[in-house]
Structure 1
Amino acid sequence: MASHTALLIIDYTNDFVADKGALSCGITGQKLAPRIIELANEFVSNGDWVILPTDVHTPNDPYHPETKLFPSHNVRGTWGREFYGDVAKWYDQNKNQDKVYMYDKTRYSAFAGTDLDIRMRERHVDTLHLVGVCTDICVLHTAVDAYNLNYNLVIHEKGVAALSSAGQSWALDHFKHVLGASVID
């Protein structure tokens, strides 16, 4: 029987999580790793999809809107774009499984400019579980697009982190009260 559920591990890279990352959530992001790995193992064991939508950029791209907003980050082939810590180890150990893969994205949302929706529909996925960073940026924009595409949403509160506590609180409230997502943990 086909699985109808996928876990999206969004942007869990050195640039967003490590102390020396270009746009790091710092310790709040670093503390997510055990929960993310626990969920990823659970999804793999259940035969569900584990997808890692991961930001990728070209330094100083004059055509990309983030160039004006943020320092250069998640540049292909750099340390900053590598997965952080134990999540990197988990991915290296599991990347050859049929239902585990990294997914390039160039905008906040994992759906913007990608074929993620088509891939999920082909696989009959109707429920997305979201973890990763930043709660109020890439996780939020992915959730908004998923909502608009009629996916059921589950946000794992102990699996997401923002750059600020205010951003975290606002986004969690938005998931619940505006997107109708289940916020659990």
Structure 2
Amino acid sequence: MAPQDHEVVTVDAPSSDSARTEQPDGNTKQRRHWTVSLLLGAAVLVSLLVAAMVSKIGTGDEPTHVREHAPRSLAAANATFVGNPFHGQVFYKNPANQKSYDDSIATAKGKVKRNLLKMREVPSAYWIDVKAKIHGTSTSSLEGILADASSKATPELVTFIWYDLPNRDCHAK
């Protein structure tokens, strides 16, 4: 075989530094992942520390009350201690509901009658589920209930439940 002349071809390959800037290798990706995770963890930790400090310090508006033994039930809690805005309020008992109880009480006996008499005196919310219940003067309408409750010697607190609001209820039409 005869010796052949070989042509030399030079190929420019990127240096290792430029290869890293164009496409990060696995090591760089892993470092970046850990850096982001570490920063997020630090942010959560700082948030928790700030929340803990604020809860211990309070807002400064009122003194902090500390009880040795907190009550284990709502019945045992002092309403003024927990700042209940409804403490001392008289809740409205709808006469239309009480009339319904009266009809049942008239025919009941014994324990059932005693329970119905107690239930008659329990305030309840009034459901607004159709527009027709908004306007009117009777205690079967929102306006009538508000007028009746505010006409009392001590105005009474009324509870309404708005139901079937469009785009606010899974069964609304």
TM bucket, shorter chain? under 0.3
By percentage of residues, which structure has more strand?
Answer: 1
By percentage of residues, which structure has more helix?
Answer: 2
Q: TM-score, normalised by structure 1?
A: 0.21
Greater C-alpha Rg: 2
